[in-house]
Amino acid sequence: MDNKNYYKNMTNFLYQELAWGHMFKKKDGKYIKNTDNNSEIYIKESLRKMKIPLNKLKNKKVFNIGTGRESRFFAKHGADVTHLDIGKSTVKNLNNWAKKNKKKVFSFSSDIETAKIGVDKYDIIFLSGIYQHINVPALALVKFINALKKDGLMYMGFYRSGEFKYFIVDAIRFILEKKQLSEIRNLNAILFTLGEFNHYQSSRVMDDFFVPKKHNFHPRDIIHDIKLLGGKIFYFDNDFREYSHSGSSYFSIGGDRIYIKKKFSKLIKESVIKKKLRTLNGKNQITDIKYKENIINQNIKLIKLIKKKYKAKKINQIDVSSLCIGLYQFTRPLVMEESEYYQKSKKIGRHNVVNEYLKNFINNFDQSNKNIKAFNKKLALKGLK
Ligand SMILES: C[S@@+](CC[C@H](N)C(=O)[O-])C[C@H]1O[C@@H](n2cnc3c(N)ncnc32)[C@H](O)[C@@H]1O
């Protein structure tokens, strides 16, 4: 399968079968109320920033991508919603819901890269958790800006370069191979979600570890592209730090949400502007950032060494899968208070604990190590291997 087809098939499969898509509907067909409620919180917050009261949503033309829960919110408040998603069942569910509840929703299944979404058409474009997963994000940005009406507003959340959590996620993605998906899914479910796959933690792991594209952007580059395309930024928290790995909260750095207004109606041609765009691709947190701190650079070296040993078959696949699930505990443990990795990180610093973990892993799990070989031999003699 070529790269483009792999991207399409895997993104669809991942979100429909392994993460998020199925989360918002129970087996009995009813939507899980809390997940809709959770999305309402951030949609309402965005609408406040956009200065759009809920009662002004009536008949507003809204464009949205995602699992359907955000579209349901806008449609419930009377908006005229166009929705698309690369997934098929998400679209089917949303269209069925709209028909049953007599809401104005037109939803279709397509990759945003090839989809026609219209020009000068929408009052609001709402994109949360989308930009980072598009194959070539900046080309979709051209499409989004063209699709906005003059004076239309767009909300865009994005994966911010410089977050510790994405350092860990990129380390995991660097080490892992695709063939480990099923093993990771099983191990994670057995260890953390009472054997259930239809669970937040399972969706997170599947999404972070295996979605084909996970771009991280520095806000400087996002802002550059928005301005290049003529968009006006009307709200941004101005956090331009290169990175911050020192805090212990899940989001330790700002600058990952942006609000845009379009002040013109001229059509932008992708071919004319393409070369100047900076968010065609994201920044890898392991390979594309220059870190000053010695401990971070040491950890990058250890991550590369583990990969090398794994490729050379000196480390077993199951041990690498377990390591990756363990690494995730530094950033998204199921229950923060109960995670030893997380709690220790809070005390002595995240990278110090990561360092201890990676070193121990290499010392204890490299099968070519003399002591490990000798111990394996002992086990074999006792019939334990
Ligand atoms: C993280 S999830 C959605 C988050 C969203 N905030 C929500 O609650 O529905 C990402 C969504 O984007 C969709 N998606 C990813 N890449 C896409 C693409 N290239 N074209 C269309 N949809 C895409 C996925 O199928 C998935 O539903």
What structural domains does the chain harbor?
3-161+214-276 (3.40.50.150), 165-212+290-381 (no CATH)
Helices (H) and strands (E) in the chain, counts: 15, 7
pLDDT attached to residue 35: 59
Which H or E element spans position 122? strand 122-127
pLDDT attached to residue 333: 84
Ligand 1 probe mutation, 65, 69, 88, most atoms within 8 A of CB: 65
pLDDT attached to residue 339: 87
pLDDT attached to residue 25: 52
pLDDT attached to residue 23: 64
1 to each of 7, 9, 61, 88, 178, how far by Cα in Å? 10, 10, 38, 20, 14
364's tokens = 């204890």
Alpha carbon 178 to chain centroid distance?
17
Longest dimension (CA), the chain: 78
Question: Is 86 strand, coil or helix?
Answer: coil
**172 CA to centre of ligand 1 in angstroms:** 21
Which H or E element spans position 358? helix 350-365
Ranges of the chain with pLDDT below 70: 22-37
Is the pTM here over 0.85, yes or no? yes
Residue type, 153: L
pLDDT attached to residue 219: 97
**124 CA to centre of ligand 1 in angstroms:** 17
Ligand 1 probe mutation, 24, 25, 42, 67, most atoms within 8 A of CB: 67
Question: Is 61 strand, coil or helix?
Answer: strand
Report yes or no: 329 and 338 within 8 Å, Cβ to Cβ.
Answer: no
Q: How far apart are CA 198 and CA 19, in angstroms?
A: 8
For ligand 1, what atom is nearest to the CA of residue 112? 20
221 to each of 227, 235, 303, 306, how far by Cα in Å? 10, 16, 27, 32
pLDDT attached to residue 245: 94
pLDDT attached to residue 231: 94
